[in-house]
Every structure is written in structure tokens, then in C-alpha cells.
Amino acid sequence: MAEKVQIFDTTLRDGEQVPGCKLNLPEKLDIARALEELGVDVIEAGFPISSPGDFESVTQISKLIKNATVCALSRSVQKDIDAAAGALKYAKRPRIHTGIGASDFHIIHKFNSTRDEIVERAIWATKHAKKYVEDVEFFCEDAGRSDPEFLARLVEAVIKAGATVVNIPDTTGYCLPEQYGRLIKHLVDNVPNIHKATISAHCHNDLGLATANSISAVANGARQIECTINGIGERAGNTSLEEVVMVMRQHKELGVYTDIQTQQLYPLSRLVSEKMRMIVQPNKAIVGSNAFAHSSGIHQDGVIKCRENYEIINPADVGVSESSIVLTARSGRAALRYRLQMLGYPVEKFDLNHLYEQFIEIADREKEVQNAHLQQMMSDLALSAVA
């Protein structure tokens, strides 16, 4: 039987760290509401210690959200955890997300510490967070570059201290899919109490591998993915929510499912793009403006005959009204006929080759041939026929 993968959305925390993407409170509430409607399991609402504004946003989101878990970030520091707990006071399902660096880079060059001390701090932080909430997620920062043996020791210790979710971030976006999957499998195979917690994948996109790495984690036992709408986030971004959700939906052989209402993916992508004033690249998978647009003659002909010839996703399934046939100088007769028919012209009464010649003249002048161009073309033809 298929197993559920929890979708942990961090658009409002890791996503909002993008320079220039800062949101005000009403904008955050709009996005949080839309995320709940989308069906995400967890909303990471912010990092309450970072500013009074962030504390207030987490408080208000906690009051607003009814079904999803609301999560607040903290370092393994008392004042952070206390602030996270304070901001989550009204949450129906509160989760504190605490953690510390797990790679030697972070242990030595960030914390000037030792592995033993890090384990002690991690145990302390988990137990402290547990005093406030039952649901504690522990992040092992830079796990992607950590020593797997040490990571397993750290994970075992925090689960013993009460962590319900263990987050294994590829903080720097360094790992290859096979490598990240192997790291997750190493934990499944070597942490004796791993069955008491959910393993979470948190990937960054520095090498463009965040989606592939997250899916590899799922294939190896992770049951939560941390992601953002449009893949926004630090540097090259986080795992894109719409991509991982659609990969799991399209590939049933993975044996997993999510509760995401996929028809809301495109509208939510637009909402986040608009509120964060961050455009979505046209060729972005699933939600880019070209994701269901066909412009070459061969593809257009194929799609007109049968959509599945060139589309693996029905656009309606992600909230895009329909595929589009873009008319350019690369388009063929089939696309021209299709568009003219859509505009109501009795194409069969014309010589298609002649129409096509006229069309190509326009297409060589214009980047894209619009309906208005075709309407002008048809009325010019009608006039010349009369004359």
C-alpha cells in the first residue's frame, strides 16, 4: 500500500530569506491560508527570535491555521527555543524546529566546538523544546557534508531525547541524488531507534539537484520533504514543492502519495510570485508560463492530434486552464489551422498553403503571431477576394 509523504512548506521561513522577498503580515497570512487550502501538512511560519515582526507573524499564523502543523525555527539556544514556544502558544498543532551543525565544517569553523559537545547541546535543546511541545523536529545542519557515522550518532541521541522528526538538510546543495539517498539509507539501517521518528529531506538547489535529491531521499525511506513554492529560498533556492509533489503523483512506482490538492499549484505559484515580487522563470517545471506551451511545428502537430504525445501532465491537474499553441515562424500548418478554427474561421474553404504563406510573412516580422494578426490577415484576404 502506498505510504504518505508529509509536505513541509518553508516558503514563509527559508523562502522569505531571499533578499527583496520580505512579506508583510497580511501577505504572510494570505499565503499561509492558501498553503493550508493546498493541503500541506506543516507550515514553517518563521524564526521567532529573529525579530519582533517574525514573532508576531508566527503568532498570527498559529491563530489562523486550523489543520496543518505550525512550525517555528530555533537554534539550539535557550532564548530561541523559548521564543519559538511563545510564538506557537495559539497553534492547534505546534512544532518546534531546533537544531545545530552536524558537519565538521560547522562544528569546527562555525561553533568552534567538538562532536561530543554538539551531541550534548543537541540533546539539551531537544529536551528543552519537549518541555513546551510534544512535536519536536531536530535539524542536523549541513548533514549533506557530514560524516555518516557521526550523523547516525547525533540522530540516535536526539530521537532518544524525544525528537519526533529528524531533518537531514543538504544545506549547501552539495550532494548527488545517489549520495543523498545513501545517507538516508545509512540512517535507516544504522540508527536503532529510527522507527520512532520521521526522516525529513531538506535540500538546497545549488547544483540544480534539490528535487532529484528529495525524491532519492523518499526512495530510501524519508517520509517528509521540506520545500517552497516556486523553489524560492537561500541562494539557488530550496526544493520546489510543485516539482516533488508532481514527481510523486506521476511516478506511482515510488509507492508514495501526498495530500496536496494539485489543481491549486498554479494559482498558489502566482500568488507567491506576486506577493514576493519574484518572477517565475518561463521554463520552470510545472508552473512556468511555458510549461504547457508548444511552439515548434512538429510538437504542435503532435499535441493537436493527441495531447499526451508531448505532455506528461494534464495542465488542468495543476490548475492551468489549457495547453497553449504559440504561433511563431517555427509553427506549422496544423497549428495555423487549429488556431484559425478556434477563432471561428471556416478554414476548409481556403487554400491552406496560401494561408500559411501569408502567416509566415507575419511570423518572420513578429516574435509571436497573435490572434489580432490572424484576424487582420483574414480580413485582408477577404478584401482582396472581393477586389
- Single out the segment in contact with Zn ion by CB under 5 A; choices: 10-18, 188-196, 245-253, 323-331: 10-18
| CB nearer to ligand KIV: pick between 200 and 323 | 200
CA angle 167, 237, 88 (to 5 degrees): 50
Q: If binding means CB under 5 A, how many residues of this protein chain bind Zn ion?
A: 1
Least distance (Å) between residue 292 CB and ligand KIV:
31
Closest residue to Zn ion, judged by C-beta, is 14
Q: Which residue is nearest to ligand KIV (CB)?
A: 169
What is the spatial distance between Cα 35 and Cα 27, in angstroms, rounded to a whole number? Answer: 12
Indicate whether 301 belongs to the interface with Zn ion (CB under 5 A): no
Counting contacts by CB under 5 A, is residue 27 touching Zn ion? Answer: no
Q: Does 14 bind Zn ion (CB under 5 A)?
A: yes
Exposed/middle/buried for residue 228 (C-beta within 10 Å: 0-12, 13-18, 19+) = buried
How far apart are alpha carbons 142 and 155 in whole angstroms?
13
Q: Considering the complex, state which of residue 171 and residue 300 has its C-beta at the smaller distance from ligand KIV.
A: 171
Residue 332 DSSP label: -
Which set of grid coordinates corresponds to residue 296?
Answer: 515548434
| 190 Cβ contact list (under 8 Å, min separation 6) | 148, 152
Closer by beta carbon to Zn ion, 60 or else 216: 216
221 Cβ partners below 8 Å, 6+ apart? 184, 185, 187, 188, 199
Rg (CA), the chain: 25
Distance between CA 78 and CA 127 in Å, rounded? 11
CB of 75 to ligand KIV, least distance (A): 8
- Of 211 and 262, which CB lies nearer to Zn ion in the complex structure? 211
CA separation for the pair 354, 272 (Å, rounded): 46
331 binds, among ligand KIV, Zn ion, none (CB under 5 to 8 A by kind): none
- The binder of 141, among Zn ion, ligand KIV, none, by C-beta within 5 to 8 A per type, is ligand KIV
Residue 322: CB atoms within 10 A of its CB come to 10
236: three-class secondary structure by DSSP: coil
In the complex, the smallest distance separating the C-beta of residue 202 from ligand KIV, rounded to whole angstroms, is 5
Q: How far is the CB of 139 from Zn ion (least distance, A)?
A: 8
Cα 128 to Cα 158: distance, rounded to the nearest angstrom: 12
d(CA 156, CA 10): 25
Binding mask 134-163 for Zn ion (x = CB under 5 A): ------------------------------
Sites of contact with ligand KIV (CB under 6 A): 14, 139, 141, 167, 169, 171, 202, 204
Which residue, 139 or 174, is less far from ligand KIV as judged by CB? 139
Residue (14 or 243) nearer to Zn ion, CB = 14
Could you tell me the smallest distance in angstroms from the CB atom of residue 327 to ligand KIV?
43
Q: Closer to Zn ion at the Cβ: 14 or 27?
A: 14
Binding partner of 139, given Zn ion, ligand KIV, none, CB within 5-8 angstroms per partner class: ligand KIV
167 binds, among Zn ion, ligand KIV, none (CB under 5 to 8 A by kind): ligand KIV
**Contact status: 16 vs Zn ion (CB under 5 A):** no
142 vs 156 by CB, closer to ligand KIV = 142
Strands 135-141 and 94-101: parallel
Nearest distance from C-beta of residue 52 to Zn ion, angstroms: 23
Q: How far is the CB of 335 from Zn ion (least distance, A)?
A: 43
133/85 Cα distance (integer angstroms): 8
Helix (H), strand (E) at residue 202: strand 198-203
Residue closer to ligand KIV by CB (options 99, 319) is: 99
- Give the three-state DSSP class for 303: helix
- In the list Zn ion, ligand KIV, none, the entry touching 213 (Cβ below 5 to 8 angstroms by class) is none
Contacts 24+ apart (CB under 8 A), 50-53: 53/25
**What would the grid cell of residue 229 be?**
513554492
Q: How many residues does the chain have?
A: 387
Task: Give the residue from 180, 172, 223, 319 showing the smallest Cα distance to 3.
Answer: 223
Stretch that binds Zn ion, among 7-15, 19-27, 83-91, 369-377 (CB under 5 A): 7-15
Q: Which residues bind Zn ion (CB under 5 A)?
A: 14
